[in-house]
């Protein structure tokens, strides 16, 4: 979509240059599809282009993985193949979450190669899969402020509602640090969409931390991420009770991709699947990714010759 109210595109990552009517431009997949009238009350007048920051997309250290806000989905998808020098593939089992989260975009070529981790967090849709990944892995977002300061916020608290987040005008998301302790945990992933190749309606990630506690992060089903922490793996009833207490009905998201009642049912079901998966020894169950699937197809239906058009078909042999 043309953004015909834009008078200038400025290459900068300096929040001090931000003024009213500006928007940070990352991959542009939201900006150029929503148009310049969709952000705030006034049309956008300038884009502050993050395309030449030179920030390394991924930095791996002993502390964990730092993702630049400008890291693309394609770059993130490539990471588990070569996480970095000194990282033994088995030492960070939670790397197994990266690809299912990228796949949750069900993305076009454009979104895959252009859209960014930061753009996804800052768009703050309930179905933002980079939000799911970074919140579940206890990501810490670093935010640069127009006055020259910076602050850090847990990603689980960064998104505050459907399309809402904690950024003040002019603030720039710089990066997200995924700590080694979270990457070292065993994880389970579940996702559901109402339609084939559809947007996520429910996306849950569970992690068993080193001490045997469970961290369960609910996204897509809810307007903002909801995180539950248990010191030990809970029983089925206490998990269901904790979900009931943590997510009031009004917090379940309601749009064309799923009604709140369905999202709630599926949240409870998938949370229990995750609990059951993580309660078995690692390696005993194949990692199960529900994702963008249809249940096994029923046998083909056939209609006998000369059947009236409104007759119910019979099952094929
Ligand atoms: C076909 C299609 C399918 C899609 N599927 C999904 C989906 O399943 N789930 C989903 O969540 N989204 C989806 N999207 C929306 C979008 O592509 C993603 O949210 C994407 O990750 C946005 O990233 P971007 O870099 O392109 O953001 P941009 O369009 O560049 O920016 C989006 C917003 O974030 C702000 N912003 C960007 N970077 C920063 C930063 N570092 N600091 C502060 N503000 C910043 C911008 O100013 C703008 O307001 C889809 C879009 C398309 C076109």
pTM for the whole structure: 0.90
For ligand 1, the distance from its centroid to the CA atom of residue 24, given in whole angstroms, is 11
Q: Is 108 in the pocket of ligand 1 (CB under 6 A)?
A: yes
Q: Is the CB of 121 under 6 A from ligand 1?
A: no
Q: Which atom of ligand 1 lies closest to the CA of 33? A: 53
Domain with CATH 3.30.465.10 in the chain: 53-184
CA 130 – ligand 1 centroid, Å: 10
Which residues of the chain are in CATH 3.30.390.50 domains? 186-293
Closest protein CA for atom 36 of ligand 1:
119
pLDDT digits (tens), the chain, 317 positions? 678 899 999 999 999 999 999 999 999 999 998 876 666 668 899 999 999 999 999 999 999 999 999 999 999 999 888 777 777 768 899 999 999 999 998 878 888 999 999 999 999 999 999 999 999 999 999 999 999 999 999 999 999 999 999 999 999 999 999 999 999 999 999 999 988 778 999 999 999 988 889 999 999 999 999 999 999 999 999 999 999 999 999 999 999 999 999 999 999 999 999 999 999 887 765 565 655 444 444 554 444 555 443 333 344 33
Distance between CA atoms of residues 139 and 302, nearest Å:
52
**CATH number for region 186-293:** 3.30.390.50
Instruction: For ligand 1, say whether the CB of 268 is within 6 Å of any of its atoms.
Output: no
Interval between CA 157 and ligand 1 midpoint (Å): 18
Q: What is the CATH number of domain 53-184?
A: 3.30.465.10
CB distance 128 to ligand 1 below 6 Å: yes
If you measure from the C-alpha of residue 47 to the centroid of ligand 1, how many angstroms do you get, rounded to a whole number?
A: 14
């Amino acid at each position: 979509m043309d953004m015909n109210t834009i008078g200038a595109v400025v290459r900068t990552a300096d929040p001090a240059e931000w003024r009213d009517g500006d928007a940070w431009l990352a991959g542009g997949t939201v900006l150029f599809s929503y148009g310049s009238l969709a952000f705030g009350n006034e049309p956008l007048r300038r884009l502050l282009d993050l395309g030449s920051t030179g920030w390394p997309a991924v930095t791996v250290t002993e502390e964990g993985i730092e993702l630049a806000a400008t890291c693309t989905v394609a770059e993130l998808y490539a990471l588990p193949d070569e996480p970095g020098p000194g990282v033994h593939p088995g030492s960070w089992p939670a790397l197994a979450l990266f690809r299912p989260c990228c796949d949750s975009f069900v993305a076009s070529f454009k979104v895959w190669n252009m859209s960014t981790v930061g753009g996804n967090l800052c768009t703050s849709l309930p179905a933002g899969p980079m939000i799911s990944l970074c919140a579940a892995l206890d990501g810490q977002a670093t935010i640069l402020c127009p006055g020259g300061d910076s602050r850090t916020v847990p990603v689980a608290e960064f998104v505050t509602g459907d399309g809402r987040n904690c950024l003040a005008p002019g603030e720039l998301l710089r990066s997200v640090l995924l700590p080694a302790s979270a990457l070292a945990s065993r994880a389970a992933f579940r996702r559901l969409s109402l339609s084939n190749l559809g947007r996520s309606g429910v996306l849950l990630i569970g992690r068993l931390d080193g001490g045997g506690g469970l961290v369960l992060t609910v996204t897509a089903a809810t307007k903002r991420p909801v995180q539950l922490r248990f010191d030990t793996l809970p029983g089925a009833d206490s998990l269901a009770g904790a979900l009931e207490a943590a997510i009031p009905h009004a917090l379940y998201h309601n749009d064309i991709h799923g009604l709140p009642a369905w999202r709630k049912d599926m949240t409870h079901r998938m949370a229990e699947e995750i609990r059951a998966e993580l309660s078995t020894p690692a390696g005993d169950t194949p990692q199960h990714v529900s994702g963008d699937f249809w249940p096994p197809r029923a046998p083909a239906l056939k209609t006998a010759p000369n059947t009236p058009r409104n007759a119910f078909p019979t099952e094929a042999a």
